[in-house]
Amino acid sequence: MSQLEENISGSGSLAGVFPTILKRGLEFIPGIALLFAIGFLGKVAARYVPHMEYVIFAIAFGALVANTISLPKVFVPGVRTYEFWLKVGIVLMGAKFSMSSVIHIGSTGAALVLIEICLAVVVARLLSKWAGLSDGLGSLIGVGSGICGVSAIIGASGAINATEEEASYAIATVLIFGAMGLAVYPIIGHLTGMSDTMFGYWAGLTVDNTAEAVATGMAFSERAGEIATLVKLSRNALMGFVILFFALLHAKQGITRDIENKGAFLWSRFPKFVLGFLLLSSLQTIGFFTANQARLLTNLSNWAFLLTFAGVGLSLQRSRMRAGLKPFAVGLGVEILVAIATFIMVHAVLA
């Protein structure tokens, strides 16, 4: 084949890629449009109800849709992007914070985060043994409750060779308490007179999934949501270390093989979007953004969160929250003890 024929053939194959990419991209539009519609409806509803954040309405409307109609398949790809929009929103939020603010909040929260993780893991293991659950399921509940909810459970499942049933029970347990936290924590925060800062720390420390943690904070106030996000990022950053701990523990027990390249393992479990947040925060600190540019990035962050919260609501389906009685009881015990302990710690440190 001549060089000219090769070029023509290569161009033809390359040209065939673009329609495929376009078709794949169009699949996301209906679902993203639905996320936007539900989120925007939540914003409109919040205008007519004083002292209620739009987050509550966006999640409530999404849950109503998810549990009253069978969502057509055409919406599914776009709806599933809500976790992507969460990461986009968090990265862009970095433009609101100087590094000094991040370090101040992060350093205060670091000790609390370490205590919370240790408490959740230890309590989950003890209660799981008491309830007669497997080591794998107890470890997954501990990882999910202590760090990053579903993401941590999925990451740990492969590392400790957990069964699909164990992972499903742990995920369902975390989803149930994430939904409960969204509904209950803001009420407790208002009834106990917590400040925005205190509630933000508390939500960031106790709510398991990142999306629900941000939403719970935002349901209290915008400032609480920002602090909850920063504290939750501190928990997320430690995900690899905790998963590595359980992987080594199970390897020592002969359940799984040992991990040879621990550095690569930690990097593979590290949430990379945290680096994006820190990058924008660093740029904000050195004055890279003008006031208008920072405001634009903040607005884009808010719109990304709007899609996220609608997606959180749509993910709250009854069928996904069917956990066994024992895993539910263990998860409930862990969540209550962690919530009480962190509530006391937050008041002791910040009051």
Taking 80 as the threshold, does the pLDDT of residue 126 lie above it? yes
Closest-CA residue to 195 (of 56, 334, 349):
349
Q: Indicate the pLDDT class of residue 193, thresholds 50, 70 and 90.
A: very high
pLDDT score for 55: 82
Percent of the chain at pLDDT > 90 equals 19
Measured CA to CA in angstroms, residue 142 lies from 127, 149, 279, 330 at distances of: 10, 9, 31, 10
Q: Would you say 37 and 44 are in contact if contact means Cβ atoms under 8 Å apart?
A: no
Q: Where are the alpha helices (DSSP H) in 48-144?
A: 54-68, 76-79, 82-93, 99-131, 135-143
pLDDT digits (tens, 9 = 90+) for 46-60: 888 877 778 888 888
Q: How confident is the model at residue 347 (pLDDT cuts 50, 70, 90)?
A: very high
Residues counted in the chain: 351
The encoded tokens of residue 243 equal 């998963």
17-43 as b/e: b if 16+ CB within 10 A: eeeeeeeeeeebebbbebbeebbbbbe
> What are 114's two structure tokens?
């370490």
Residue 5 is predicted with a pLDDT of 47
Q: Which helix (H) or strand (E) holds 3?
A: helix 3-15
Residue 344 has pLDDT above 90, yes or no: yes
* pTM of the model as a whole: 0.77
Predicted confidence at residue 321, as pLDDT, reads 62
> What does the mean pLDDT of the chain come to?
82
Q: How large is the C-alpha radius of gyration of the chain?
A: 22
Cβ-contact 75, 200 below 8 angstroms: no
Q: What angle do CA 236, 238, 244 make, to 5 degrees?
A: 120
Residue ranges covered by each domain of the chain = 95-300+317-350
For the chain, the 3-state helix, strand and coil shares in percent, each to the nearest 5, are 85, 0, 15
The count of other CB atoms within 10 Å of the CB of residue 339 is: 20
| Spatial distance between the Cα atoms of 327 and 14, rounded to a whole number of angstroms | 51
| CB-CB contact of 146 with 238 (8 Å) | no
* pLDDT for the residue numbered 258: 59
Find the range with the poorest average confidence among 146-160, 179-193, 299-313: 146-160
In sign, the C-alpha dihedral spanning 207, 209, 210, 211 is negative
pLDDT in tens, 195-253: 999 999 999 999 888 888 888 999 899 899 999 988 888 888 777 777 777 777 766 66
pLDDT at 31: 92
HSE value, Cβ hemisphere, 13 Å, CA-based, for 151: 23
User: Of 144, 103, 125, nearest to 239 (Cα)?
Assistant: 144
- State yes or no: pLDDT of 256 exceeds 60: no
Rounded CA-CA distance 297/308 in Å is 16
